[in-house]
Amino acid sequence: MADEILDVDLLSFEQGDAPARRAVVDGVRRSLQTGFVYTSHDLSEDLLDQAYDMLAEFFSRPTDEKLKYVAPGSHGQTGYTGLLVETAASSDDRIADLQRRFLRIIAVAVGCHENFFDAMLRHGPHLTRAIHYPAMDLAPDQGHVWAGSHGDINLITALPRASAPGLQVETASGWVDAVAPEGQVIINTGMMLEQLTNGEIPTGIHRVVAAPGQGGERYSVVQFCHPTPWTVLSPVPSCVSPERPQRYGAIPAGDRLDEVLWEINLVEDGRRVN
């Protein structure tokens, strides 16, 4: 596990010469040992501000009104899902395009063709979630864990800047704040990418915390990039060697998602009572 999140330039990979491309690939490979990396993006800052204003207005509505947006049978993957969890919206094509482009760097980094991920993304779901972290007014001086330590289920996640600090990443040195430089977006890796790369790229473990004295709410828009449900997740040959024996078997991505949803108790008709 590494201890530093690096900042890489996507455009240098796409438009640069061979040495520039190699430098980006090397930076991504090293940074993703934390499961996280920062990269440039072309999203409008005004668009993000508008999105967070709209989120604040939605979450301020009465609970009975918000409950109208619950999506039965979605297992928490879309619709309004209540306090301290998410409401999902349709995919933002701009963020999806950024994820597709960034996965080309990752493909090269693990010894695959640049377009390795393209086909599995063509009809894959890109789920955009707007997450509300309520203000912790009862004990503001003690801090609060909004979301405990976890990894994402997908290939990669894109996180434009949030409305307030709070995201932390587990590294070799312990928990560190993840704050993208201005004009950058955070990319983190998920369980499906770890399986495809035989653990060469680990799942980015992270949490969201309010620091002591940090008041107010927090809003975050994140996009989860999934392969098609029928994509078979099996370690690519370039990531299997005598030094790194195959750790994972083959499983369709849809089944892997169902497995994790079951493990975290989100399957509505199969929930376990503690």
Give the DSSP H/E element, type plus range, for residue 233: strand 232-233
Q: Place 85 in a pLDDT band, splitting at 50, 70 and 90.
A: very low
CB 166 within 8 A of CB 178: no
In a domain, 154, yes or no: yes
The string of pLDDT tens digits covering residues 191-232 is 999 999 999 999 999 999 988 888 788 888 888 999 999 999
Instruction: Look up the domain containing 62 and give its range.
Output: 7-270
CATH of the domain at 66: 2.60.120.330
pLDDT of residue 24: 97
Candidates 83, 80, 56, 54; CA nearest to 68 is 80
Q: How confident is the model over 14-35, as a mean pLDDT?
A: 96
Alpha-carbon dihedral angle through residues 24, 26, 28, 30, given to the nearest 10 degrees: -150
In a domain, 2, yes or no: no
In a domain, 266, yes or no: yes
Mean pLDDT taken over the chain: 84
In a domain, 201, yes or no: yes
- Total domains present in the chain: 1
In a domain, 1, yes or no: no
